[in-house]
């Protein structure tokens, strides 16, 4: 693993303080508050540590309650709600300074066969051919292992509220399905809510914009490898009342729908 990817894996590893009680370090990405993806990934990690490894996370639904402090650790309290015959349910509360900043429910399921279908992966230029696509560009964060290949449909007034991009974590990772789920939860918070800004010509860095995630839902459909390119197809069917709603479909390069997301957030423009 690269040093940056190793640091991210360690960030999601957590320290077990007591039964059903964990502590995670925080990272400062230069945002006004703690990055929501960190809390998503760590909360899923905490829940998974209390579940039989034969069952894997298939859904997570969470609410962001207060801005987190990127310079303080986060404590995760897991409530073992139910261990059923087919499904396991956990509730996780993330705490800083004695107050909850986030809570979520996560559900786990064993392997079963059954009816199957999926939506078709949208047409998108392959990652190794994007040099010929107008407006396409690669985005990296210094010292961070994630890469984004934007397909050129960025914020422009009057455009449809849609974004598509490829993303991956650069470096080698162990073949651990749970770890790849934590990392997908972490990565899924990038770019999703800002899809609601696209038709208004507003960018994330606009000084008038106050933006924050209010909730986040994630469904895992297949095991996934996050260090290979994944296509994130996002749209925003609605925005209003200083809130925006966005949803996303994540496909692997073979065209399998590996995960789905949905998020509502604050998108307030100040004078």
Q: Identify the active-site residue in 26, 96, 107, 189.
A: 189
Torsion angle, alpha carbons of 169, 45, 63, 199, to 10: 10
Q: How does DSSP classify residue 121?
A: P
Helical pair 36-48 and 3-11, crossing angle rounded to 10 deg: 60
- Helix (H) or strand (E) holding 75, with range, is strand 74-83
Q: How far apart are CA 142 and CA 145, in angstroms?
A: 8
Q: Is 263 a known active-site residue?
A: yes
First to last CA, the chain: 45
Q: Is 213 a known active-site residue?
A: yes
**Long-range contact set of residues 81-88: C-beta below 8 Å, sequence gap at least 24:** 81/105, 83/52, 86/110, 86/112, 87/55, 88/51, 88/52, 88/55
Q: Is 252 a known active-site residue?
A: no
Q: Identify the active-site residue in 42, 236, 249, 263.
A: 263
Q: How far apart are CA 187 and CA 141, in angstroms?
A: 13
Tokens (6 digits) for 58: 């298939």
Q: Identify the active-site residue in 187, 213, 236, 260.
A: 213
Q: Catalytic amino acids?
A: 189, 213, 263
């Amino acid at each position: 693993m690269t040093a940056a990817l190793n640091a991210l894996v360690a960030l999601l590893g957590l320290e077990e303080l007591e039964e059903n009680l964990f502590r995670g370090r925080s990272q400062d990405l230069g945002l006004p508050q703690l990055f929501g993806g960190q809390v998503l990934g760590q909360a899923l990690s905490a829940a998974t540590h209390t579940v039989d490894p034969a069952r894997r996370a298939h859904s997570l639904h969470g609410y962001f309650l207060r801005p987190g402090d990127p310079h303080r650790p986060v404590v995760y309290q897991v409530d073992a709600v139910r261990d059923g015959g087919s499904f396991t349910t956990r509730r996780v509360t993330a705490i800083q300074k004695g107050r909850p900043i986030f809570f979520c429910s996560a559900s786990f399921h064993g392997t079963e066969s059954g009816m199957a279908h999926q939506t078709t992966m949208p047409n998108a230029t392959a990652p190794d051919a994007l040099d010929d696509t107008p407006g396409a560009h690669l985005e990296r964060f210094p010292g961070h292992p994630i890469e984004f290949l934007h397909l050129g449909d960025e914020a422009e007034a009057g455009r449809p509220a849609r974004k598509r991009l490829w993303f991956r974590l650069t470096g080698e990772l162990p073949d651990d399905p749970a770890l790849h789920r934590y990392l997908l939860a972490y990565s899924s918070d990038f770019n999703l809510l800002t899809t609601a800004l696209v038709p208004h010509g507003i960018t994330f860095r606009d000084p008038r914009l106050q933006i924050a995630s209010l909730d986040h839902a994630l469904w895992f459909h297949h095991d996934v490898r996050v260090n290979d390119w994944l296509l994130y197809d996002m749209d925003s069917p609605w925005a209003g009342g200083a809130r925006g709603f966005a949803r996303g479909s994540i496909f692997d390069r073979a065209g399998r729908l590996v995960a789905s997301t949905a998020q509502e957030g604050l998108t307030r423009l100040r004078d």
